[in-house]
Structure formats: C-alpha cells, structure tokens
Structure 1
Amino acid sequence: MTTLRLEWPQWQGGEPQAVAHYTPGLDVAESRTVYGLGGQLTAALAPRHDGPTVRVAVPDYSHDLPEIDGIVGKDEVLRQHAEALSLIREADADRILTLGGTCAVSLTPFGYLAERYADDLVVIWLDSHADCNLPGGPNRGFNTMVVSHLSGRGDNDVLESMPATLPSSRVLLAGVHAWDDQDSHTHESWGLRLIPPADTEPFVDAVLGWIRDSGVRHVAVHFDLDVIDSDELAFGMAWEKGGISKATALRTIAAIAEAFDLVGLTVAEFVPREAVALRSILHGLPLAGSERSAE
C-alpha cells in the first residue's frame, strides 16, 4: 500500500476580508499568506515520512486574485487542484496524508479517494465549521465551500474537475459548532449528519458508531486544527471556544485508524500569527537578506 505525503501550503483559498478581520496587526500580504506559512511549518514539524512525498507549487502573494463566479482566486484554486491531482495519480496512491494550507486542500485527495474506493469510503469532517457554503455567498473563500463540492454542490467548473464526489450520507460533520450566515441553513437540508463537541469517550463512540452504521471500511479524515477548543490551543484562523480537546481530537483519529482503514488524513489551517510577525521583522533587518556585492 502506497502512502503519499502531499504538502500543499495553499493560502489562496482564504477570503481576504475574513482573513484580515482575524489577523489584526498584519498587513494585507501577511494576512493573506498566513495559511501558506502555516502549511510550511506543518510540513516542517511533521514526522519523517518514508514513502513518496510531493509538493504542490504555490505562488507567493499577489494582488491579482480576482473573484470569479463568486470564488476568490478561482482560477488559481483550480490550477493547484489540477496539479495536485496529477501528482496523486502519478503516485498511484492508496493512502494520502495532506499537509495544508487552507481547508481547500482536502478537496483533491478526497475526490481521488472517492473515485478509488467508490461506495466504500466515508469522510469525517473534523472541524469547527461545516464548510458547506456556496459560491457567491457572504464568504467568497473556497476554504468555506469544500464540503459543498465534495458532496456534489457548487461551481460547475470545480465539480467537472473532480474525479468523484460523495453523497451527503457519507460525510460526517464532527465537532462542528461555529456557523456563518450560509452553512447553518444547509447541512440539515442536505442530509449531513452532525456530531457536536463532547467529552472524549462519548464523542469517539458517536463517530465510530456512525462509521459502523454506514457499513463502509475506508475512511478519510479532514482535521482542521480549529476544532480544538481555542481556550486550550488557539491554532486556527477564527478562535472558536467550545470545541473538543486536543486529546479528544487525537483519540478520535487514532480510534478510526484502529477500527477501520484510514486512507486519507488532512491537517489544515494552522495559523502562526507570531511566526508571520517574526518573518516580517527578519525581512526588515540588515544582514538578514541575500548579500550584495560591494561596489
């Protein structure tokens, strides 16, 4: 079984106004690219991987990210999606560890796994947010629309680019408790099951029970770090109180891997505000940059 490590420090999936709101004190370029630096640090801190490792090319900050069809940076999001899918197919991966980046980085590997395992795959969306917005809604960042597109709803260009989608009945929203103006009204009508935050034992039991009831063996887990209660660890873009504990998150993923075949795992949305500020300081120091020849 081939386990591919996909490093994808994407920042383009974030919505500019939302990102700026949650990162006071950072300038536009710093706030827009904070997801990217978070992805780089996530990959740097992850344990050594003995299998194949690939990295999606992510451009540096650019103002030229127009909103198209209600999605900020749609063209660049689709370009990265196509590159990631090509890398995954070339590796012929059976399992995929994805290190992001915005939540948008789960779309490609999970779509590939949905094609590979067909009806024998469920997705656990371990996140404070449902990410089931639609293009043109209040938040135009694609990172808030991933579950929508995974379940076959949204932008036609994105949907046509996907290897496969899943029915809502095979997507579980686990730990979701923070809603925006759109996705709070959609998850129930779409048939998405929700398990709210709880203590470790009942939460893990509920997640495992849902998977068992599905009759499916293969599982992909999206782990947005903001699902951890921000009073314990403020990792995410929006600091959300009332989430699950770090121990609960780790135990949930471990229990899934013990009981089923964990074929996909994404770690997403580490937002290192202090590291971004440090990078800005370092870039402003003499002797810290590239040397120039003396005249």
Structure 2
Amino acid sequence: MSSMAVVRASRPNFLILAPLCVWLGIALAWRQPVEVQGLDIALVMLGALLAHAAINLLNEYQDFHSGLDLMTRRTPFSGGSGALPEEPTAAPRVLATAIAMLAGVVMVGGYFLWLRGLPISIVGLGGLALVVGYTRWITRSPWACLLAPGLGFGPVMVLGTMLALGGSPGMSAILVALVVMLLVSELLLINQFPDVEADRRVGRRHVPVVLGMAAAARIVVALLLGAYLLLVAGCVAGFLPPSGLLALLPSPIALWIAWRLPRVLGDRSGLSRVLGVNVATLLTTLGFLGVGLGWG
C-alpha cells in the first residue's frame, strides 16, 4: 500500500510534460552541427523525469504536513493526489523517494558537468533550487511562484537538454524556452484557482491569493496568448522554421480558454472543464512544436 501511495504521490499522469520539454531540447540540438549520442538522450530524459517526480513528491509531502491536503477539494488537476491523506504512514517513504530521486538527478548532472563543463552546472543548480525551494519558500512570493514553474521547464529543462547534448544556445533556443516558460507558468497558475481558500489558510501567497481570481484570470490569458504570439514572431523573424507554426494548431482552443475562463471563476464544474482542456492544449502545443522543430 505504501508503494502505491508513493506512485500516486509522484503524479504519474502529469510526468509527460518533462519528456515533451526534453524532446524540444533534443530537436534544438539536432538543428545544430553536433553529434547527438543515444546514451546522452537517455540520461537527460531520466534526469528530467526524476526531477519532475521529485518535485511532485516533495510537494505532496509538504502539503500533507502543512495540513493543506486535508483542506482542499481535489480535482483531476488540482488539490494533490490524495495519496497521503488516505495512507498517512507512507509519508516517510514519499520523502525518502523524493530524496533518492534528487540524488539521481545530481548524479546525472555530475556526468554532464564532467562531459560539458561549467554551463551545465549553472542550469543544474538553478533547477535544483527550484525543486527544493518551490513548496516551502517560493509559494510565499506571488511573482516567484508564477515564474518558477515556467523557468524550471523552459530555460532549465529545454536549454539544459540542449547544452547536455552539446548544443549552443542561440535565439531559436531562447524563443522556444520562453514559449515553454509562458505556457507552463500559465498551467500552474490556472491550476491554483480551485485551491485559493485552502492555500490562503496555510500561508501561500500566489497570484490568485494576492490579486484575486479575476486579475489572475487576466494574467492566465496574457501568458497563454503571449506564448502563441511569441511563437509566431519567432517564425516570421526567421529564428524558428516555418514548420514551427504547426504548434498553432491548438490555438483556437486556447482562444476558447481565454474567452471561457473569466466566465467560470465561480463555477467549480465549469472551471474543472476549462482546466482539463487547458492541460490538453498545452501538451498538444508542445508536441506539435517538437514535431515542427524536428521537421523544419
């Protein structure tokens, strides 16, 4: 039972985001004159999955101990997995697994530090700081809480993958990392909406708590639409290949999210529907972007 609780606490349904971000880094590296090794791809993918699972486990462990998990009304996209409230004795194993996964991330990072040198250490240490500090400290600052998820999956994971595979950062890589940053920060921001009252009670100070739901919804729309506009600008300017416009295929659904979100802030079932559509939109956008970069 404890082992199953650990698996649930890692939120396996959401771990697809890490491979998609790694795939973008791989596609960027392939576009450069570097020889990409299969072992390096496997290791960077492993490191990304371990880091993503570790932050999910730490978040679940700390939310359980703060009492937050007992206050939230869970949805498929917010409120935690519910694993530890149902199996409290699994908490030490969840923490131990998170630490073991972080140790694995450090080992993978050490290999790439030996292989590629100092730039990897800057990205890697930044990523570790985000993983360790997110729930305990970063969630106390609205703007840090807003930017941290996007930084972790965009500049850290996308650019970190490209650097680990021997690529060099350029404008195309920076644009892709920024697109990912905007989309992932938007994803985490909108997923905070159902838990506002519970988060406020345990001292979290993210954007919906500090500015209110209506203002936070406007920021969600700005981040979401800003990501697509940045993508278009990058393709028009020639920094990204025309095939990168494949990532615009889900944009009509993004427009629906931007229109619908302000209308369901007080409707829990309607909000949950928007959250689900938003997750699917983000994942398909990143998937099409990866195809476009690899094809172009």
Work out whether the TM-score is over 0.5: no
Bigger share in helix = 2
TM-score, with length taken from structure 2: 0.33
